[in-house]
Amino acid sequence: MSEPTETPATRLLAWLTDGDLRLLSVLTVSLFVLVWVLSFFSGIREPGRILSQIQGVAFIAVLYVMLALSLNLQWGYTGLLNLGVAGFMAIGVYTMALLSMPTSAAVPGLGLPLWIGIPGGVLVASLFGALVALPAIRLQADYLAIVTLAFSEIVRLVIRSQEAASFTIAGTRLGTGGTDSLALPTSPVKVLLYEDPSQPAAIAAASPTPLGDILFTAGEQIGASPAVMESLVYTVFLLVIAVAFFWLVSRIANSPFGRVLKAIREDELVASSLGKDTRLFKIKVFALGSGMMGLVSILWFLERGSVTPATFVPDLTFFVFVALILGGSGSNMGGVIGSLVFVVLLLESPRFIRRIIRESFDPPAPPETIFDALSGVDPLLGYFTSQESISALRFILLGIILVYLMQQRPDGLLGHRTEVASNVDLADRQQTEEES
């Protein structure tokens, strides 16, 4: 075997061929090339607009990566079927809003700074996680699924009720805004980029910070607006936090703590017969995972600038499950890859495909009923490419994929993956022995 001389290129090659990382990078690149191609064919051709599309997809993808990692802790490693993901997310972001919205806002909060509001939201989501875990201690998995789903619906129903929309505690007026969209505090990224971040984007962009100025000028070169550049910075910021999530969850998985979690998933009676207080482990994992979900939703909607309770329907939870199961629950890299595939192929590409079809075939406006649609090819195309139909078709596909995965590939698309539950290399000793 001839040894090639070491150059940066060969080193990159070696890195790329290192199993998981290679898979991840190749997959990420291909998926985003696909987004680029799809944008191109749906008539989005200017670099700035394509960048905007790609960053939009990347933003959602990173969020789902984080959600899948949080859920992996509970469901993948510990086998706790938490169907309340959306509820914990809602608690996180609404608590943050109650704490940090200015007292002068239309729907006021306590006016505390974000560095209190964000940890506060995470903490309260965690506390509710621990609270919901209490029944989990004694319940079978299917009861837990129902309890967590019911919990998440309670949260949503309470947030959207008139009682919560606006209430007064000890003379302070607070509120969730009810069914309306609730304005959120200014995102911390805006503060980095604009001198006057509370102004609407168009006005704020006129007076950028030095950092903002550099980025906005760079954006101008490719025709990307300040708003796009701002979201891009936000996405990069999210990416850093996603890496931290990965680090955290992997570290837990590769530790004696993670070993107990896995044992609980496999056979709880065995774990407890070996002296592990499985209840404590379950509570901790539920609290931690739920807090992480709360954080994800805080970061998500801070960027959006507002939030509505309608976002937190159970479908959101099911999305996260599909993302995780797709890549293989119980594996962090599986969760990451599953989320990327889920977001790009299932969540985002339908709207591009719809645009492409409408661009190329120019079907008529959607007919009133499915019978009118059956009168010809064009009306049919019109019917099935309406916004509502595409959304429905996407859900149908998701349902079918879920069934397919459970029937044929319970370990996910990547097949079975093992991650060793220890922070030392378990095979290490064997190797040293063989050498001697």
Identify residues 76-95 at the interface with other proteins (CB under 8 A): 81
Q: Is residue 251 near other proteins by the rule CB under 8 A?
A: yes
Among 46, 213, 315, 359, binds other proteins (CB under 8 A): 315
Residue placing its CB nearer to other proteins in the complex, 186 or 339: 339
As given in the structure block, the two tokens for residue 29 are 């690149």
281's CB contacts (< 8 A; 6+ apart) are 78, 257, 260, 261, 264
Instruction: Write down the H helix ranges in 102-160.
Output: 114-138, 141-160
Task: With contacts defined by CB under 8 A, name the span among 13-21, 169-177, 224-232, 260-268 that binds other proteins.
Answer: 260-268
Residue 169 to residue 404: CA distance in whole angstroms: 50
Residue 233 to residue 106: CA distance in whole angstroms: 29
- How many residues sit in the footprint of other proteins (CB under 8 A)? 85
As given in the structure block, the two tokens for residue 32 are 């985003």
Residue placing its CB nearer to other proteins in the complex, 41 or 257: 257
User: Which residues make beta-bridge pairs with 307?
Assistant: 182
Residues 81, 135: contact at Cβ < 8 Å?
no
DSSP 168-187: EETTEEE---TTSPEE-PPP
Whole-number minimum distance, CB 352 to other proteins, in Å? 20
Q: Is residue 353 near other proteins by the rule CB under 8 A?
A: no
Handedness of CA 153, 155, 156, 158 (dihedral sign): positive
Identify residues 262-301 at the interface with other proteins (CB under 8 A): 262-263, 265-267, 269-278, 284, 288
Residue placing its CB nearer to other proteins in the complex, 79 or 212: 79
Identify residues 99-128 at the interface with other proteins (CB under 8 A): none
Among 41, 237, 246, 257, binds other proteins (CB under 8 A): 257
As given in the structure block, the two tokens for residue 239 are 């990416």
Identify residues 7-36 at the interface with other proteins (CB under 8 A): none
Q: Is residue 406 near other proteins by the rule CB under 8 A?
A: yes
Q: Is residue 423 near other proteins by the rule CB under 8 A?
A: yes
Identify residues 133-162 at the interface with other proteins (CB under 8 A): 134-135, 138-143, 145-147, 149-151, 153-154, 157-158, 160-162
